Amino acid sequence: MTAAVQPPRRRTELGLVLLVGLVTVGALTLASLGKVGEPPAGLLGFAGVMVALILGAHLAVRKLAPTADPVILPVALLLNGLGYTMITRLDSDLAALQAVWTAVGVAAFVGTLFLVRRARDLERYRYSFLALGLVLLLLPLVPGLGRNINGARIWIRLGPIGFQPGELAKIVLAIFFASYLVERRELLADRIRVGPIRLPRPRLRVLLPLLAAWGVSIVVMVAERDLGSSLLFFGLFIGLLWLATGQPAYLIGGGALFALASSVAYQLFSHVQTRVEVWLDPWPTAQGKGYQIVQSMFAFGSGGVTGSGLALGSPQRIPAVSTDFIFAAIGEELGLLGTTAVLIAFLLLVGSGLSIALRVDHPFEKLLAAGLTLVLGLQAFIIIGGITRVVPLTGITLPFVSYGGSSLVANFILVALLLRISDQHGATRT
């Protein structure tokens, strides 16, 4: 890309983020009209803050990553705005906190772009990132620090602030996995012939991190009772292992290991059995353990194609609707069209991330871009699939949409890293 092409790309992003601001303010106005029959108090002040945040993020990209992809930031802000609208409609107290976390997330986004000037520099600290990732992942198990909320021990509390360290761990471990696999990909891709097929050569020293990832994911599932994070982290490593080596045997073997451990966990632990049984047939426990998923099914059904309208449905009947089940609330009040729009937004994010990975020449940055994109796609699939009963329900958040400060901050950092990689290779884009 030449320098002359750069301004149109940023002008495209500017137009998109301003449109996102207009859509968010309009959606909040409609939600307030549906709930109390009048525009929300302080609408102009909120609109000013919203425009300041999105323009701040845009100006940071214009200054610090001028050749970055122009679509990723507006789509992330759109999902964030839609989520904020739904949270405001459902719980005004949570909405105030989400507004603060949005500002913190944008600040983290700008800070990441400022501090990380070359993504490839992160490769040098691979084992520091591994240690930090494992500490973050297992921190909720520390007595007195971890908190058990809704049956899952994935939170820590520092004074008045609750935090989910696994959200940051997914980024830190993605950096380590990308760095490790680039260093060892030739050894991992080495194969031996077994009869008519060729299989990866069993090198315990090289495969040890794979087994460690499997073990940690099982620890998360069993000790923290968090099926979603367990699947997310293990899926991230296996997916990157396949991308780095091109060997489908790793996908098959990794899937078999996870299935084996899941089967054992199902036999030994009641909370795993409950999740699976509710997934298969929630109706016998519709007034008990299956209440959430049954109510979400009713919400989707009553929403139909176009939805009941913002603030005209009853998604508040679903427990934890602002966090785990916000996609069901969107389905009720915005209908099939609204949920399809959300899915398209995530597809745009994933498509843009994979496009960045395809354009990058540097092996570490290529694999890191793919890994960060895989995190977003897997997390969205796991929670949306759980709500729609495609997979067993888990308690992870829908990126940018669900209420949650740690999730929001981590995902803004993730997007900043994708834009940094995109900017470094923007000149090669056709």
Q: What is the torsion angle, in degrees rounded to the nearest 10, for the CA atoms of residue 166, residue 172, residue 175 and residue 178?
A: -40
Give the full edge-to-edge strand order of the sheet including 152-158: 146-149, 152-158, 161-163
Q: What is the pLDDT of residue 130?
A: 85
Domain extent, residue 96, equals 3-428
Two tokens at 255?
A: 């899937």
Contact of 237 with 177, CB cutoff 8 Å: yes
Residues of the chain with pLDDT under 50: 1-5, 427-430
Give CA–CA dist 317/354, Å, rounded: 38
Burial (Cβ within 10 Å: 0-12, 13-18, ≥19) of residue 344: exposed
Q: 3-class DSSP state for residue 377?
A: helix
Contact of 8 with 1, CB cutoff 8 Å: no
Give CA–CA dist 428/405, Å, rounded: 36
Two tokens at 205?
A: 């020293």
Contact of 418 with 353, CB cutoff 8 Å: yes
Residue found under tokens 């149109």: 8
Give CA–CA dist 383/25, Å, rounded: 27
Q: What is the pLDDT of residue 230?
A: 80
Q: What is the pLDDT of residue 248?
A: 81
Residue found under tokens 């929001």: 408
Strands (DSSP E) found in 176-320: 191-194, 197-200
Between strands 152-158 and 161-163, the pairing is antiparallel
Two tokens at 419?
A: 């834009």
Two tokens at 321?
A: 């609707």
* Residue 302 neighbours by CB under 8 Å, 6+ apart: 308, 313, 332
Geometric angle at alpha carbon 145, from 225 and 234, rounded to 5°: 35
Q: What is the pLDDT of residue 430?
A: 39
Q: What is the pLDDT of residue 191?
A: 62
Residue 173 region by backbone torsions, left for phi larger than 0, else alpha for psi between -120 and 50, else beta: alpha
Residue type, 182: V
**Which DSSP letter does residue 397 get?**
P
- State the sign of the Cα–Cα–Cα–Cα dihedral 43, 48, 50, 51: positive
Give CA–CA dist 394/379, Å, rounded: 10
Residue type, 203: R
Residue 151 region by backbone torsions, left for phi larger than 0, else alpha for psi between -120 and 50, else beta: left
Contact of 81 with 27, CB cutoff 8 Å: yes
| Total tally of structural domains belonging to the chain | 1
Give CA–CA dist 37/66, Å, rounded: 43
Q: What is the pLDDT of residue 429?
A: 46
